[in-house]
Structures are given as structure tokens and as C-alpha cells.
Amino acid sequence: MMEQDILQPKQVSAGKAHEEFRNYESSSRQEIVERHYRLMRTNQTLAYVQRMHEKYNACEHDEMTIREAFRKLESYIDSSDPDSDSPNLEHMMQTAERIRADGHPDWFQLTGLLHDMGKICFLWGNKEDGQEGTADGDQWALGGDTWAVGCRIPDEVVFPEFNQLNPDMKDPKLSSALGIYETGCGLDNVLFAYGHDEYMYRMLKANNTSLPDEALAMIRYHSCYPWHQGGAYEALMTPRDHEMKKWVLLFNQYDLYTKSDAKPDVEALWPYYQSLIDKYLPGKLRW
């Protein structure tokens, strides 16, 4: 399959109408989701994100295979998601299976399976860090839409009315358009609100996996809706970032619109995905 064919947008089927997804105004989970984002916007400062990088980037907390890590996530439910209250493992398998059904490369399929796996850092988190692994616990540093820290929080975020709660927005430097960054510095050099995306991206880099850069971009940026949907951070981007954005947008179709009540048979499907794991990130990994 040629790259230009891979990047052709597809109308991914969903368990409901596309316009019903990402309802942040009147979903059945409104109170849970709104509380999540209020806490996230209040606490995700530049200093906090830097502290999380110091805590996690060395990947010194455990050694596990991907299968072992998945078992730790079997009961995890995301408090930031208005579309689903199903365990994340089911959503990740749904995403991977639809990517597979559309004939995308095996590394793309595996990315679908792995993309939310960074939520496993709840194992080493706590309430103060916003990393409780329970459905009713604080998860504001595990899931949710992300944004760049160290510069002004854009109005393109969900619940922009919460932006004023962030202490950094009272700092003239950190609340300016470029903040601590320079024009064209590249998103590789930008810090984002900390969560499962950033953790999993850094973990895969630390383990020197053979997944391509496109896969790593999908994992790091798939929750940064202000960027890939809202058009924010254009001034910071390089030509490479523009190319990676095409892949993130393609992945987003599968991440969002494959959520449904139909439960995948994880055990039956696992041998196929284990073969992909053995190819790209075999054995025990550092977490």
C-alpha cells in the first residue's frame, strides 16, 4: 500500500452518529467529565509537567511484557471520556481491529492496540499526582485532551472557561503566545500536559522499540485536539510536524469512531497481536 493511499481519509463506521461523539455539554457522564477537566486545567502547570518527566522518563518502576501490562489495565475506565464507560482494553482492541480490517500496515494496527496503554502509570501514581486508577478517582494526569504547557492555553481546548484556573496563566511569560518556545522550534521540543500519551511515547523511546516515527507521533499527539483539530501551535511547527499531523488525523478516525458496545473477544484475538508485539517490542520492557 502506497503512503498516499494509506493517508486517504476513510469514513470509519461507529456505534452511533459521528456528531454524537465528544459531547462535552450533555453526555450521561457530564459531571464526571467536567470535574476531570477542571482538575486537569487547574493542576497541569509547567512545573508539574517537568516533575512528572523527572518521575517517569527513566522507566525505572517495573519490567513487564506488553501482555502483563495489559492485564494490569483490564479494569481501568477513563473518567475523561464522554463516549464510553467500557474498560480501556476493549477500546484499544476495537481500535486495532478496525485499523486491521481496513488493511493498514501491521505497525499501524499495533499502534491502535497500544495507544492508550500509557494509563498504566496509575500503578505508580497517587491522588496528589492525579493518577488514581479507579473510575471515580482523580485521573487528571492519565487521560483527557492535552495542550502545550509553557505558553498560553488556547481557546480550542474543551472547557476553555477553565483556562483561567491554571496558575501559569497569571505569569506574563507562560501566558504569552510563544511562552518559553521559539517560532519553528518543532513539537519534539514542546512539553504537553502530562498523561498517558506522553508517558507511553517516552516509554517506547526509552525501550528503543522499532515502531516508526509515525506510530510514535500517533501515540504522543492523539489526545492533543487543540493541535490536530483546532489548528493551534502552527507557529511552533516544522515541516516534519505537518507531515506527522496527517498520520495523527488518520489515526484519530479510528481512535474516536470505533467506540461501541460490541465487546471484542480479546483472548481469541490475542495470538495475532502477540505476533506483532514479538516483532516490534518483544520480551520484557522497562516501565
Listing DSSP states for 145-210 in one string gives ---BSSSPPPTTSSSGGGGGGSGGGGSTTTTSSSTT--TT--GGG--B--SHHHHHHHHHHHTT--
Domain extent for 56: 28-286
Cα-Cα-Cα-Cα torsion 151, 155, 156, 158, nearest 10 degrees, comes to 100
CA distance 24 to 4: 34
State whether residue 285 is helix, strand or coil.
strand
pLDDT of residue 231: 96
Q: Could you tell me the sign of the dihedral formed by the alpha carbons of 90, 91, 97, 101, in that order? A: positive
**Is 50 exceeded by the pLDDT of residue 16?**
no
7 is a domain residue? no
Q: How far apart are CA 24 and CA 22, in angstroms?
A: 6
Does 35 appear as a known binding residue?
A: no
**Which positions ≥6 away from 32 have C-beta within 8 Å?**
79, 136
User: pLDDT, tens digit, for every residue of 98-123?
Assistant: 999 999 999 999 999 999 999 999 99
What pLDDT band is residue 233 in, cutting at 50, 70 and 90?
very high
170 assigned binding-site residue: no
The conformation of residue 161, written as its DSSP 8-state character, comes to G
Query: Hey, what's the cell of 176?
Result: 504569552
Q: Is 106 annotated as a binding residue?
A: no
> Is 282 a domain residue?
yes
pLDDT of 22 reads: 52
Q: What is the mean pLDDT of residues 163-190?
A: 98
Domain assignment of residue 20, yes or no: no
- State yes or no: 175 annotated in a binding site: no
Whole-number Å distance between alpha carbons of 79 and 134:
9
Instruction: Tell whether 28 is in a known binding site.
Output: no
The answer to whether 162 and 42 are in contact (CB under 8 A) is yes
Is 41 a domain residue? Answer: yes
80 is in an annotated binding site: yes
- Tell me which residue has cell 507521533: 217
The reply to whether 62 sits in an annotated binding site is no
pLDDT at 176 exceeding the cut of 90: yes
Question: Is 115 within 8 Å of 220 (Cβ atoms)?
Answer: no
Mean pLDDT across the chain: 88
Coil/strand/helix, residue 231: coil
In a domain, residue 247? The reply is: yes
Q: How many residues does the chain have?
A: 287
pLDDT higher for 240 or 83?
Answer: 240
- The pLDDT tens digits for 51-87 are 999 999 999 999 999 999 999 888 777 655 544 455 6
The pTM of this model reads 0.87
Largest CA distance in the chain: 55
What 3-state class would DSSP assign to 286? strand
Question: Is residue 115 included in any domain, yes or no?
Answer: yes
pLDDT in tens, 127-156: 999 999 776 789 999 999 999 999 999 999
The reply, when asked if residue 133 is annotated as ligand binding, is: no
**DSSP at 40:** H
User: Residue 89's pLDDT band (boundaries 50, 70, 90)?
Assistant: confident
Residue 11 lies inside a defined structural domain of this protein: no
Q: Any known ligand binding at 116? A: yes
| 158 vs 236: CA distance, rounded Å | 21
| Count of structural domains within the chain | 1
196 labelled binding-site residue: yes
Examine residue 21 and state whether it is found in any structural domain, yes or no: no
